[in-house]
Amino acid sequence: MAILYESGKKTFTLQTQNTTYQMKIAQYGYVVHTYYGPKAEDEDFSYLIRHYDRGFSPNPYEAGNDRTFSLDVLPQEFSSCGVGDFRISGIEVKNHDGSIAFCGTYAGHRIYPGKYGLEGMPSLRVREEDHVDTLELVLRDAVTGVEAVLLYGVFEEKDIITRTVRIENHGDQAVQLEKIMSAVLDFMDSDYDWISFNGRHAMERGMQRIPLSFGVQSFGSIRGTSSHQHNPFAVLCEKNACEDYGNCYGFSFMYSGDFFCGAQKDPFEQTRVVMGIHPEHFSWSVKPGEVFQAPEMVLAFSEHGFTGLTHLYHDIYRRNLCDSIYMEKRRPILLNSWEAAYFDFNYESLIEIAKASSEIGADLFVLDDGWFGERNSDDAALGDWQVNEKKLPGGLKRLSEEIKRLGMDFGLWVEPEMVSEDSRLYRQHPDWCLHMQGRPSARGRYQLVLDLSRKEVQDFVLDFMRNILDESDITYIKWDMNRSLCNIGSAAAKEQGEVAHRYMLGVYRILEELTKEYPQVLFEGCSGGGGRFDAAMLYYHPQIWCSDNTDAINRLKIQYGTSFGYPVSAMGAHVSVCPNHQTGRTVPLKTRGIVAMSGTFGYELDASRLDEEEKRQCREMTEDFRRFQELIFQGDYYRLTSPYENGAFTAWAFVAKDKKSCLANLVITDCEANDAQRYMRLRGLEKRQRYRIEGMEGSYSGQALMQAGIPVPCGMKEYDAAWYYLTAEEI
């Protein structure tokens, strides 16, 4: 058992291979958090907690005249609200009498093998090789009978602890849940940096590292999606932490809607981290006998710096998240029609692009936006999911059959969550979109959002998706979503504060049913590129289009930031034409290929316009990717330099788990004439192993390659790129 309750000490200790997490039932039944960090055996860490009389920090009534016991300073396993803890709270409950209070004390626990279940929401799955145990710890508010059941899933070998909370109303009055974080994590110190991944459309997940300072440093989303602007993944690390050294804590929220993540340094230089559904716009009624289940948070700790933390997340998300056959099977190399044609195509022009796609070795031709209804630009027809026969006579069936004849599979873009006002669907069901009674709705990209909190609207989406998938042979779906949610109201809901979360539950229901019913289909997530790049979406989609920005140099930063919390196999990345459509920059084709190869690799261009030399290079890149895909998708990922810090080049590598092979990549990001000799230092190799490098003479020890590096050829020009394939020399 990875979870031990010691009744004498009243401690709960959660052990994974390399970490220990501990809490204890303290005086008056308050549960305090005592430790999370490197593995420690047989220790009761509550000796670390000292009690002092702190001015202006109240004492719970039960503590009588003991002025040294205060919820305001104790490290707690989950916070109360309204009763004397003034730090950022994990919960806010509005009781039937209008009071806002929750004060949870220990009311029981259960430890059992296996993992707790989460209905209707994504959560980590347990695989054959896993030993997972669950702790359910009940905190009860004695006045209202409301319980917060804290759930812990301990993945022993994988050094992962999942957390979530279930609110149960055992009282006889309804309460209104105004805020519920999936986890609260208190630390007794505060000398940390706080890392988040922020951006905007077409420039997502830029890394920001700031010193934790007094007050709350928070970020989140109230856009109804996890968002381009802030990602639901954060790292708290020691000041001296770097790629391969230092204590790092990871917080990954498995949710695709509004979220909040905050870290607070309190006046006594302690830290509290909370993460959960964003409380703004959220309010949930929990009647007697009812339950509210919060989404899951995936927690990890590594004492081996960012790389150690990254490897924990990459490994668990590659193995324990998505059930698609494409997690094991080789993924198809696709050519997507968006940047090739936008809305301007017909049957003949698509076939021309498709023919050329097959010549450069693509496995899959994907028809993007514009194939349905009167969709000739982005201001109409969302919701009218019948093929536009004027553009595509014979429909998708004829097109897909022809693509098949060309030796490729056929894939299709959809944006099922949306409706255009200029559509038959909207004219028939104007109340099927999210809206607030009597208030005109803001449009985004001209469109409105379907009210997927309603079952009949979910069923409509399921039906048309089934029709599309049953009608022709489609092996891939790009599931797009192109606006932020606002005016979030539902004609069918009594409690409008529930609509945003019910919307997400609706999306999850649809994706659950479709991915189960069509296991042969590869679903790729997308939201204007990477606006919904989160662990919850990766539960359904093995891959997500990482960004609408296909500029290889911008992508270095986007993919770098994304790599901290998400595996490379999840990052949709394509080669596009130059000058790049988003930035106007021109970058060698080889470089575009190398950057796209550090993702799912594909093309986002009109292959029929490539010249013979470009086609040859593309064919070569396609073959290279086929050759290295397993190493790239299954190997350990190492960031060798940061695109934010190293002026000369950006480098990264994939090392096979057995350390017998490695693919190292570099892109020259800044070039000076008559430049200094520079070296790319590798990581993750076997020190004493000798490696051959394809295209180079001799062999080199892992030690030399890691400590001294590979010389970067001086003649390389700005934006040139190179890859180095290393294989272990047989002894």
The SS3 of residue 663 is strand
Catalytic residue among 614, 620, 686, 729: 614
Q: Lay out the site mask for ligand DGJ across 185-204 (x = CB under 6 A, - = otherwise).
A: --------------------
Per rule CB under 6 A, is residue 225 in the interface with ligand DGJ? Answer: no
Q: Lay out the site mask for ligand DGJ across 457-486 (x = CB under 6 A, - = otherwise).
A: -----------------------x-x----
Stretch that binds ligand DGJ, among 52-60, 138-146, 457-465, 523-531 (CB under 6 A): 523-531
Q: How far is the CB of 526 from ligand DGJ (least distance, A)?
A: 5
614 among known catalytic residues: yes
Q: How far is the CB of 528 from ligand DGJ (least distance, A)?
A: 5
Per rule CB under 6 A, is residue 338 in the interface with ligand DGJ? Answer: yes
Q: How far is the CB of 269 from ligand DGJ (least distance, A)?
A: 44
Q: How far is the CB of 392 from ligand DGJ (least distance, A)?
A: 17
User: Considering only residues 528, 565, 599, 602, which one is a binding residue for ligand DGJ as defined by CB under 6 A?
Assistant: 528
Cβ proximity to ligand DGJ, 444 vs 709, nearer residue:
444
Q: How far is the CB of 595 from ligand DGJ (least distance, A)?
A: 17
User: Considering only residues 333, 340, 526, 668, which one is a binding residue for ligand DGJ as defined by CB under 6 A?
Assistant: 526
Q: Among residues 381, 463, 376, 457, which one has the least CA distance to residue 415?
A: 381
Inter-residue contact 526 to 336 (CB < 8 Å): no
The SS3 of residue 311 is helix
Q: How far is the CB of 275 from ligand DGJ (least distance, A)?
A: 27
Helix (H) or strand (E) holding 208: strand 203-211
Tokens of 179: 């805020």
Per rule CB under 6 A, is residue 365 in the interface with ligand DGJ? Answer: no
Tokens of 183: 């986890």
Catalytic residue among 159, 534, 606, 636: 534
Angle at 253 between CA 249 and CA 257, to 5 degrees: 150
Stretch that binds ligand DGJ, among 226-234, 526-534, 652-660, 720-728 (CB under 6 A): 526-534
Per rule CB under 6 A, is residue 525 in the interface with ligand DGJ? Answer: no
As a whole number of Å, the CA-based R_g of the chain is 27
The SS3 of residue 428 is helix
Cβ proximity to ligand DGJ, 92 vs 480, nearer residue:
480
Burial 126-163 (b: 16+ CB within 10 A, else e): eeeebbbbbbebbbbbeebebbbbbbbbbbbebbbbbb
Task: Name, in order, each residue with C-beta under 8 angstroms of 449's C-beta and a sequence gap of 6 or more.
Answer: 224, 417, 418, 419, 433, 434, 483, 485, 503
Q: How far is the CB of 572 from ligand DGJ (least distance, A)?
A: 9
Cβ proximity to ligand DGJ, 160 vs 367, nearer residue:
367
Cβ proximity to ligand DGJ, 447 vs 661, nearer residue:
447
What is the C-alpha to C-alpha distance for residues 199 and 222, in angstroms, rounded to an integer?
A: 15
Which residues in the 409-448 window bind ligand DGJ by CB under 6 A? 413
Which residues in the 371-400 window bind ligand DGJ by CB under 6 A? 378
Per rule CB under 6 A, is residue 529 in the interface with ligand DGJ? Answer: yes
The SS3 of residue 594 is helix
Tokens of 626: 């086929």
Cβ proximity to ligand DGJ, 338 vs 503, nearer residue:
338
Please give the DSSP secondary-structure letter assigned to residue 569. G
Inter-residue contact 591 to 552 (CB < 8 Å): yes
Count the residues of the shown chain that bind ligand DGJ, applying the rule CB under 6 A. 12
Q: Lay out the site mask for ligand DGJ across 539-568 (x = CB under 6 A, - = otherwise).
A: ------x--x--------------------
Tokens of 264: 């607070």
Angle at 169 between CA 164 and CA 174, to 5 degrees: 125
**Residue 329 is which amino acid?**
K
Task: Name, in order, each residue with C-beta under 8 angstroms of 164's C-beta and a sequence gap of 6 or more.
Answer: 116, 118, 123, 151, 182, 183, 293, 294, 295, 296, 297
**Dihedral pair phi/psi, residue 180, rounded to 5°:** -150, 115
Q: How far is the CB of 107 from ligand DGJ (least distance, A)?
A: 48
Q: Among residues 420, 434, 488, which one has the least CA distance to residue 223?
A: 488
Per rule CB under 6 A, is residue 533 in the interface with ligand DGJ? Answer: no
Please give the DSSP secondary-structure letter assigned to residue 378. T
Q: Which residue's CB comes closest to ligand DGJ? A: 369
Cβ proximity to ligand DGJ, 482 vs 617, nearer residue:
482
Stretch that binds ligand DGJ, among 51-59, 114-122, 240-248, 521-529 (CB under 6 A): 521-529
The SS3 of residue 697 is coil
Per rule CB under 6 A, is residue 489 in the interface with ligand DGJ? Answer: no
Cβ proximity to ligand DGJ, 51 vs 445, nearer residue:
445
User: Considering only residues 133, 204, 368, 422, which one is a binding residue for ligand DGJ as defined by CB under 6 A?
Assistant: 368
Q: How far is the CB of 531 from ligand DGJ (least distance, A)?
A: 8
Per rule CB under 6 A, is residue 524 in the interface with ligand DGJ? Answer: no
- Directed axis angle between helix 612-634 and helix 347-359, to 10°? 70
Separation of CA 692 from chain center: 36
Tokens of 615: 């086609």
- Directed axis angle between helix 589-596 and helix 612-634, to 10°? 20
Cβ proximity to ligand DGJ, 310 vs 482, nearer residue:
482
Cβ proximity to ligand DGJ, 246 vs 529, nearer residue:
529
Inter-residue contact 305 to 246 (CB < 8 Å): yes
What is the C-alpha to C-alpha distance for residues 648 and 671, in angstroms, rounded to an integer?
A: 6
User: Considering only residues 369, 384, 524, 636, which one is a binding residue for ligand DGJ as defined by CB under 6 A?
Assistant: 369
Q: How far is the CB of 205 from ligand DGJ (least distance, A)?
A: 15
- Annotated catalytic residues are 534, 614
Query: By the criterion CB under 6 A, which residues form the site for ligand DGJ?
Result: 338, 368-369, 378, 413, 480, 482, 526, 528-529, 545, 548
